[in-house]
């Protein structure tokens, strides 16, 4: 089940060497991060395999034999050496298409939710003519970890989904005969994988099973995911391809512009050279019609091409001919002018510059409007689906988008080829999601993922930004050094593109706080005894003494009378804020961001807790904090001078910075608490329910939520562009359409004010059930999704006028599959298109928005069908 067992132990038992990197079987004891590397070395070249006069391709996509390793015996395939024999000898074999995810194809619940190893196998023939060539096998993507055998010999292993890997197999092949390839795939995610996950034991009717858990909100599809075709660029996963003995292994291209002359700088890396062998490298440039774009070729493994009257690569909306591509043709020749290798690399000529307020392409400001997406479709899961891919890009053009983000992992070569040609701007994201527990092992693998991503996509004109993580825990102390190293690693490999993170830890704008020690402040509270009592009760001044008694009550135990009280606190009545000028809705648990924010409040208080765990309730360990307390000193009639700190320790209030809009002088706050004191042996010996209100005098104006403390984010200073995710009126203040616009503006301004960098909103939106209609708008309805977008559009337009806001990205383009949970009805429904790619009401609304921006910003024409005929008096496009 564990990758360590699957790869290292299993391979050893089978007489083969395992991978160099091992997974831990137990939680890692994290050590300090290593010193930052001076200059990372680029990975060895691995060009996309393209057919040419010197290169042949053979696809291995199709039906493969497929066997699932038993859940109770993860090593079975290794112990029985399945890789050395026909899989039919392993037991029941099913047929599995490649490429595809295996999860949704069968009717088996066990296979859909399988954790651990599965085995693929098929046979193929290699012609005798390949004997003099170098033969490689290339996989476009296997999720998550793979080992590959050819005719029983281990040829390679690879850890990382969503990115290609290859290996030379020339010495393993039977030329002119039948060959067998076997692939073991493990989908297990741990705290040192990218992305991270955990394995937990779950009690079921028949005993205990291993369960994969993860915090990211998309299904962990597994299998051999990406396909190959013989001729076109639309090929990826399992591909056999030949290379001549001397061949081009890598090309790096940088482009620029001087007047109307395009500049193409290149570096070519050859491979297979013998000692003292000096092949000749000739470089030409072909236009879209395969005509020479420059009169004479350039010779040398590095050089500069000057392209007169260059046709620039433009994004959609900024040119009548977006996505113009050239072909850089590289020819290697040896003695007697014999051509030994020809490789053609598609390139676009463009410039890219960013400042602290703007983002410029070909010296013109760009405003990005687009989506976060997923590689996700019915039945195929994350497997490459050319039909869905084509439909997606048709819809992206229809809706007027000019950009999208490859959330939350690198997309296939085929997708990015299409983006290049169609003129979409791509924020290219590595597979790091919800990053936490920053260990040296994780750091190394995180850097590896970016090295592989940059190697693959460094020459693509559509890729205009590297996203090095999505919603990492950047508030944690070790996050600063961790992301400093990841960002510097990325910039060292490619200084020509900005680096960003889709952040969810916010910053705080101008804010005040509640001074509960102010003479005008008071506390009213009520207490009711009983373990099952919940709700709001009357006024009682014995609140704090009773609370203290519950927390510090002593119980004789093996600890020689040391108080062993454990308090469990949960919000009963969600806090509601009001002033004489304004009343706002209850603050939700999601908005409060319980774990991180309350923990910070605790650290700011006089108590320093040993444990802090968030589940359905907040759990705080008070063991050490109350050793010095004297119970006798607590009396119902006594005033407790430390009441404000105790309240902060409970995570309810000390210096609350909940976002409640523009406040005036005074504020009321209602709250509810349940406190349960538990002895060391787990016996509940007292439980009280508390409800009441606090009346405090405010200081200043408050504009940001409890999740947005000024010191939280520790990664933004190392980025070039600030991207942030926020779900106002959905996870935060659900139903409150009047609590969006000012909040978005305030947070974007705060990010720019803190870091002085351009800002974009990388995620916002709401789940919507297609066909659900409500008037007035109601959560989950199509009308509600449309109105959420409108409120954000208003904020974005005001931010655009401030000069630093550069883009808006809806979450999500289309509905997608997630893990099973009661808040997900068949998956995540935030798409403006359904999972089968049909529009919801909001799609038409977004279309008007995006084309209106195109007309305003780029001056290009918009479709004539944006608005249907109503009457002869109704002006065309009046709603724009």
Task: Give me the pLDDT at residue 242, please.
Answer: 61
Q: What confidence tens digit (pLDDT) does each residue in 804-830 have?
A: 999 999 999 999 999 999 889 999 999
Quickly state the pLDDT bin for 507 (edges 50, 70, 90).
low
CA-nearest of 374, 435, 432, 415 to 161 is 432
Tell me: do 145 and 273 sit in the same domain. no
Tell me: do 88 and 171 sit in the same domain. yes
Any domain includes 793: yes
Q: At what angle do helices 741-755 and 782-800 cross, to 10 degrees?
A: 40
Quickly state the pLDDT bin for 866 (edges 50, 70, 90).
confident
Q: List, in sequence order, every residue forming a beta bridge with 263; answer none if it has no partner.
A: 256, 306
**Looking at the predicted structure, is the pLDDT value of residue 618 above 80?**
no
Integer CA distances (angstroms), 65 to 83, 95, 98, 405, 533, in order: 12, 5, 10, 35, 59
**Looking at the predicted structure, is the pLDDT value of residue 705 above 50?**
no
Q: How are beta strands 338-347 and 326-334 bridged, if at all?
A: antiparallel
Quickly list H helices, 650-781: 741-755
Task: Give me the pLDDT at residue 131, please.
Answer: 82
Q: CA geometry: angle at 315 spanning 313 and 321, to 5°?
A: 65
Residue 396 preceded by cis peptide, ω within 30 = no
| CATH number of 843's domain | 3.20.20.80
Quickly state the pLDDT bin for 487 (edges 50, 70, 90).
very high
Tell me: do 237 and 255 sit in the same domain. no
**Looking at the predicted structure, is the pLDDT value of residue 467 above 70?**
yes
Size (the chain), residues: 880
Cα dihedral 397→398→402→406 (10° resolution): -70
Quickly state the pLDDT bin for 870 (edges 50, 70, 90).
confident
Distance CA 648, CA 439 (A): 31
Domain total in the chain: 3
Distance CA 482, CA 880 (A): 45
Any domain includes 610: no
Overall average pLDDT of the 327-342 stretch: 85
Tell me: do 239 and 366 sit in the same domain. no
Tell me: do 850 and 712 sit in the same domain. yes
Residue 812 preceded by cis peptide, ω within 30 = yes
Q: What confidence tens digit (pLDDT) does each residue in 673-703 have?
A: 444 444 444 444 344 343 333 333 333 222 3
Any domain includes 311: yes
Cα dihedral 12→15→20→22 (10° resolution): -20
Any domain includes 557: no
Percentage above 70 pLDDT, the chain: 69
- Which of 350, 371, 398 is at the close of a domain? 350
Average pLDDT, the chain: 76
Tell me: do 236 and 372 sit in the same domain. no
- Are 383 and 99 within 8 A, CB to CB? yes
Any domain includes 742: yes
Distance CA 382, CA 407 (A): 13
Task: Give me the pLDDT at residue 38, please.
Answer: 63
Overall average pLDDT of the 712-736 stretch: 95
More confident residue, 358 or 875: 358
Distance CA 401, CA 396 (A): 6
More confident residue, 696 or 861: 861
- What is the token pair recorded at 852? 């209106």
**Looking at the predicted structure, is the pLDDT value of residue 20 above 50?**
no
Overall average pLDDT of the 417-423 stretch: 98
Tell me: do 251 and 300 sit in the same domain. yes
Task: Give me the pLDDT at residue 782, please.
Answer: 98
CA-nearest of 474, 498, 505 to 715 is 474
3-state secondary structure 577-623: EECCCCECCCCCHHHHCHHHHHHHHHHHCCCCCCCEEECCCEEEECC
- What is the token pair recorded at 849? 């928005």
CA atoms within 13 A on the CB side of 385: 19
Sequence-ordered strand ranges (E) for 127-175: 134-139, 142-143, 145-150, 153-159, 165-168
CA-nearest of 794, 829, 540, 496 to 692 is 540
**Looking at the predicted structure, is the pLDDT value of residue 730 above 90?**
yes
| CATH number of 146's domain | 2.60.120.260
Integer CA distances (angstroms), 493 to 40, 43, 609, 842, in order: 7, 10, 43, 40
Tell me: do 111 and 237 sit in the same domain. yes
- Are 702 and 511 within 8 A, CB to CB? yes
Residues 6+ apart with CB under 8 A from 393: 418, 419, 422, 424
Distance CA 822, CA 381 (A): 21
- DSSP state, residue 460: -
- Sign of the alpha-carbon dihedral angle for 345, 350, 351, 356: negative
Any domain includes 192: no
- What is the token pair recorded at 687? 């439980």
Host domain of residue 470: 360-507+705-858
Tell me: do 416 and 461 sit in the same domain. yes
Any domain includes 396: yes
Quickly state the pLDDT bin for 637 (edges 50, 70, 90).
very low
Tell me: do 228 and 268 sit in the same domain. no
Overall average pLDDT of the 497-516 stretch: 63
Tell me: do 330 and 230 sit in the same domain. no
Any domain includes 772: yes
Quickly list H helices, 408-522: 413-422, 440-457, 479-493
Distance CA 409, CA 389 (A): 16
Distance CA 592, CA 506 (A): 12
- What is the token pair recorded at 30? 């994290």
Overall average pLDDT of the 14-26 stretch: 33
Distance CA 265, CA 270 (A): 17
Residue written as tokens 């006028």?
A: 801
| CATH number of 331's domain | 2.60.40.10
Task: Give me the pLDDT at residue 202, please.
Answer: 85
- Are 233 and 414 within 8 A, CB to CB? yes
- Which of 350, 369, 399 is at the close of a domain? 350
Tell me: do 105 and 69 sit in the same domain. yes
**Looking at the predicted structure, is the pLDDT value of residue 873 above 70?**
no
């Amino acid at each position: 089940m564990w990758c360590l067992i699957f790869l290292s132990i299993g391979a050893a038992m089978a007489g083969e060497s395992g991978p160099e990197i091992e997974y831990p079987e137990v939680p890692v004891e994290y050590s300090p991060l290593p010193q930052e590397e001076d200059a990372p070395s680029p990975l060895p070249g691995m060009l996309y395999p393209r057919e040419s006069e010197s290169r042949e391709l053979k696809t291995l996509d199709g039906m493969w034999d497929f066997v699932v390793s038993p859940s109770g015996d993860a090593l079975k395939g290794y112990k029985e050496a399945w890789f050395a024999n026909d899989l039919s000898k392993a037991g029941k074999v099913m047929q599995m298409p490649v490429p595809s995810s295996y999860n949704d194809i069968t009717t088996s619940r066990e296979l859909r939710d399988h954790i651990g190893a599965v085995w693929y196998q098929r046979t193929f023939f290699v012609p005798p003519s390949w004997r003099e060539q170098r033969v490689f096998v290339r996989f476009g993507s296997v999720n998550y970890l793979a080992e590959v055998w050819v005719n029983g010999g281990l040829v390679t292993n690879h850890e990382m989904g969503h990115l290609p890997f290859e290996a030379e197999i020339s010495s393993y092949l039977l030329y002119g005969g039948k060959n067998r390839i076997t692939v073991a795939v493990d989908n297990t995610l741990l705290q040192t994988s990218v992305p991270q996950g955990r394995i937990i034991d779950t009690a079921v009717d028949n005993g205990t099973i291993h369960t994969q858990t993860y915090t990211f909100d998309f299904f962990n599809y597994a299998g051999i995911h990406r396909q190959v075709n013989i001729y076109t660029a639309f090929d990826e996963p399992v591909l056999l391809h030949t290379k001549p003995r001397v061949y081009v292994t890598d090309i790096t291209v940088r482009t620029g512009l001087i007047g109307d002359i395009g500049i193409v700088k290149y570096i070519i890396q050859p491979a297979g050279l013998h000692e003292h062998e000096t092949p000749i490298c000739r470089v030409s440039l072909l236009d879209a019609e395969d005509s020479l774009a420059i009169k004479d070729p350039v010779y040398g493994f590095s050089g500069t091409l000057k392209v007169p009257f260059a046709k620039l690569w433009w994004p959609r909306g900024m040119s009548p001919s977006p996505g113009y591509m050239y072909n850089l043709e590289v020819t290697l020749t040896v003695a007697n002018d014999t051509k030994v290798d020809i490789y053609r690399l598609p390139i676009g000529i463009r410039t890219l510059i960013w400042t602290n307020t703007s983002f410029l392409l070909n010296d013109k400001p760009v405003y990005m409007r687009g989506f976060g997406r997923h590689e996700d479709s019915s039945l195929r899961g994350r497997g490459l689906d050319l039909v869905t891919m084509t439909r997606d890009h048709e819809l992206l053009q229809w809706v007027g988008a000019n950009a999208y983000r490859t959330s939350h992992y690198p997309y296939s070569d085929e997708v990015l080829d299409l983006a290049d040609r169609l003129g979409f701007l791509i924020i290219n994201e590595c597979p790091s999601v919800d990053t936490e527990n920053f260990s040296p092992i994780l750091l190394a693998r995180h850097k590896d993922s970016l090295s592989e991503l940059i190697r693959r996509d460094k020459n693509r004109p559509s890729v205009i930004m590297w996203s090095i993580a999505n919603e990492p825990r950047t508030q944690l102390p070790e996050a600063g050094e961790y992301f400093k190293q990841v960002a510097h690693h990325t910039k060292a490999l490619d200084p020509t593109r900005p680096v960003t993170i889709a952040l969810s830890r916010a910053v705080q704008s101008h804010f005040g706080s509640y001074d509960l020690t102010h003479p005008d402040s008071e506390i009213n509270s009520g207490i009711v005894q009983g373990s099952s009592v919940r709700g709001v009760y009357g006024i009682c001044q014995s609140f704090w003494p009773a609370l203290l008694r519950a927390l510090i009550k002593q119980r004789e135990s093996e600890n020689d009378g040391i108080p062993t009280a454990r308090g469990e606190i949960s919000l009963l009545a969600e806090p509601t804020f009001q002033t004489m000028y304004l009343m706002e809705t209850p603050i939700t648990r999601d908005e409060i961001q319980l774990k991180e924010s309350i923990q910070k409040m605790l650290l700011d208080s006089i108590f320093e807790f040993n444990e802090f765990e968030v589940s359905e309730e907040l759990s705080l360990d008070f063991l050490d904090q109350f050793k010095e307390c004297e119970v006798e000193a607590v009396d119902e009639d006594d005033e407790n001078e430390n009441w404000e700190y105790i309240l902060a320790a409970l995570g309810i209030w000390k210096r609350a910075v909940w976002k409640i809009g523009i406040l005036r002088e005074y504020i009321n706050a209602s709250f509810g608490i349940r406190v349960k004191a538990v002895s060391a042996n787990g016996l509940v010996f007292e439980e009280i329910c508390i409800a009441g209100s606090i009346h405090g005098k405010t200081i200043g104006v408050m504009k940001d939520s409890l999740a947005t403390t000024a010191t939280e984010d520790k990664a933004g200073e190392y980025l070039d562009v600030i991207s942030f995710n926020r779900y106002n009126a959905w996870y935060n203040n659900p139903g409150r359409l009047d609590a969006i616009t000012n909040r978005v503006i305030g947070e974007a301004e705060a990010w720019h004010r803190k870091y002085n960098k351009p800002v974009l909103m990388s995620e916002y939106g709401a789940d919507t059930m297609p066909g659900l209609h409500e008037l007035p708008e109601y959560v989950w309805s199509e009308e509600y999704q449309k109105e959420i977008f409108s409120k954000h559009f208003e904020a974005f337009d005001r931010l655009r006028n401030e000069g630093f806001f550069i883009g808006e990205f809806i979450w999500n383009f289309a509905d997608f599959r997630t893990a099973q949970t009661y808040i997900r009805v068949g998956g995540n429904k935030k798409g403006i298109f359904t999972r089968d790619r049909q529009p919801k009401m909001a799609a038409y609304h977004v279309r008007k928005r995006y084309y209106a921006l195109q007309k305003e910003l780029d001056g290009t024409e918009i479709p004539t069908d944006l608005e249907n005929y109503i009457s002869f008096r109704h002006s065309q496009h009046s709603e724009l």
